[in-house]
Structure 1
């Protein structure tokens, strides 16, 4: 295991917390990124931050990858992973990403790689509703 990579952006931390709520999820730190894996084997989320305070998240979306590409900042993941349904979301430090949608996509990504019995036994997490600033 590589050294821990601490996420600083509040919304990146929120997505990290949601990922760790899935059963048998472990966090690893390859290539200077945070990787979230089911039972320490198959990754379902990669996260990283840039020097300007922006952050990114890559997820495996075998069913809704075309839908996910409509999110501002989304693109097919590089290194040939896009062909396998991986989508990368990139956000600037001040961006307001659609967190409920990202957390919903996270559920699809986890289920895409989780063992079938584990996936079937787990109820999807509640998607938090964002309150509007007043």
Structure 2
């Protein structure tokens, strides 16, 4: 059961904002930041390194987060690794089996902003039982193959 909202008068006496809980300082906000585990960070770094090693891949930082692009199109959203948001990757999986497998990962969900309808899946890396780095790289490669031009996919196959 939630406590009743405070009136403005009660809030000023108790040093709280009405309906918003106790007043918080910057130090408390920093403590509440989501610090990635070493294991999650290693997985993220491996997926990022793999993505950027694919033919024609470049890293950009739209919206303040890392993405890997090929031919100016995003093929993996890498998010941020600074702890301001739970660490994860978002990939586009057209293969039904891979898509279902990714969604079965702990905490995974269709990507927001309507991207989930097009096959994009967000996979958090700090969840217990999160996919191994090798599996993440497989999904990054599938996402790349879905987005990249055929000539770059052929370059990848020739490796």
Query: Shorter-normalised TM-score: what interval?
Result: 0.7 to 0.9
Q: 1:43 aligns with which of 62, 74, 90?
A: 74
Residue 124 of structure 1 deviates from its aligned partner by 8.3
Match of 2:62 in 1: 30
> Residues 24 and 85 from structure 1, CA distance in 2 versus in 1: closer, same or farther, beyond 3 angstroms?
same
1:79 lines up with 2:110 in the alignment:
no
Which residue is equivalent to 2:48? 16
* Alignment length (residue pairs): 118
Structure-to-structure mapping, 1:1-134, within 5 angstroms: 9-39=41-71, 41-48=72-79, 49=81, 51=83, 54-63=86-95, 64-92=98-126, 97-123=131-157
Contact 2:58-2:68 at 8 Å conserved across structures: yes
Gaps of 5+ in 1: 1-6, 126-134
Is 1:53–1:93's contact at 8 Å kept on the other side of the alignment? Answer: no
Q: TM-score, normalised by structure 1?
A: 0.76
Structure 2 CA distance for partners of 1:68 and 1:96, relative to 1, 3 Å: closer
| Displacement of 1:96 | 5.2
Q: Is the 8 A contact 2:107 2:127 kept in 1?
A: no
Mapped partners of 2:115, 2:58: distance in 1: 21
Which one has the largest radius of gyration? 2
**Cα root mean square deviation, aligned:** 2.6
Unaligned runs of 5+ in 2: 1-35
C-alpha distance 83-124 of structure 1, shift in aligned 2 (>3 A): farther
- 1:128 aligned residue: none
Q: Which has the higher helix share?
A: 2
